[in-house]
Amino acid sequence: MGISLLRAELGIDPEAEGHYRDISGIGNTSGIHTHDFYEFFLIAEGAAYHCCNGHKETVSEGALVFMRPRDIHYYEPLPGTDCRLINLSFYEHTLTALLTYLGDGFPKESFLGSPDPITVQLSRREKLLLQERLEKLIRIPQQEKPRFRTELRAVLAEVYSRYLMPSVVPEQDTKPKWLANLCLEMKEPERFLEGIPAMVRLSGKSHAHLCRVFKKWENQTPLAYLNLTKLQYAENLLLHSDRSVLDIALEAGFGNLGHFYKSFRALFGNTPQTHRKLHQARLAPLV
């Protein structure tokens, strides 16, 4: 079976810089192929096999897959089902400019150097929100190509920073993927305020297992990790708002102000008030 090469110049309008496709079944997709452009696709309904770079995986509703130029892939049907997928393809230079803009904080090399494309499984709510966001592109009249290009760039910045960046684990970090995802989840206030029960529920692991894994990979207990997360959140509120220390302590989950002061000083070396004054003295007022 020959491998087709899909070229951006033949399928993507250079003025729009991107091309949107809503594909109702895998029978309407290309066979085995590679391309000289970037793309990502979202499984909107159903499921299929995605065969890529010699590997086969099942992708089902909510799967978001980030493809690179020169990846070789195609789709195969799952017995008794089909899938609808939304595909967004765009020029290589368009994404290169975005990655440059995002800067060194974006794990570009891990994304580009990964043997297989990164796949992110979205919740149903996330899938519906992204699907609605993408579908706005097809409401733009064909003659309004500059507007399409602007919307495309906005979508790419949102999708790559919101969904791809948190999912790429740097190559030197070999911690289990479920643990990396759990640590990201626990940065959310509603998660760390719930505490250990949220960690157990989200991970599907026992508390004892979490303790062993956190000791190995984070060199601390789950409780210590939660405390650090709350203190880092409190520091951000302290430096980027004018709220009182008491309000910040309560929002970060510290019911005891004395315990908050002691923990904050142990981590940052200063009281919250001193820490705020030291950092604010370095910055000119913006309002």
What three-state secondary structure class fits 95? helix
121 contacts 43 by C-beta, under 8 angstroms: no
Distance CA 187, CA 189 (A): 6
Each residue of 8-41: b (16+ CB within 10 Å) or e?
Answer: beeebeeebbbbbeebeebeebeeeebbebbbbb
The CATH homologous superfamily of the domain defined by 4-167: Regulatory protein AraC (2.60.120.280)
pLDDT at 176: 86
121 contacts 61 by C-beta, under 8 angstroms: no
pLDDT at 173: 53
Mean pLDDT, consecutive 10-residue stretches, the chain (287 aa), reads: 88 93 90 95 95 93 95 94 94 95 89 90 91 91 93 95 79 73 90 95 94 93 96 93 93 94 94 90 57
pLDDT at 92: 95
Each residue of 178-214: b (16+ CB within 10 Å) or e?
Answer: ebbbbbebbeeeebbebbeebbeeebebeeeebbebb
261 contacts 272 by C-beta, under 8 angstroms: yes
239, amino acid identity? L
Instruction: Map out the domains of the chain as residue ranges.
Output: 4-167, 177-280
pLDDT at 171: 45
Distance CA 150, CA 152 (A): 5
CATH 1.10.10.60 fits 177-280, yes or no: yes
pLDDT at 30: 87
pLDDT at 180: 86
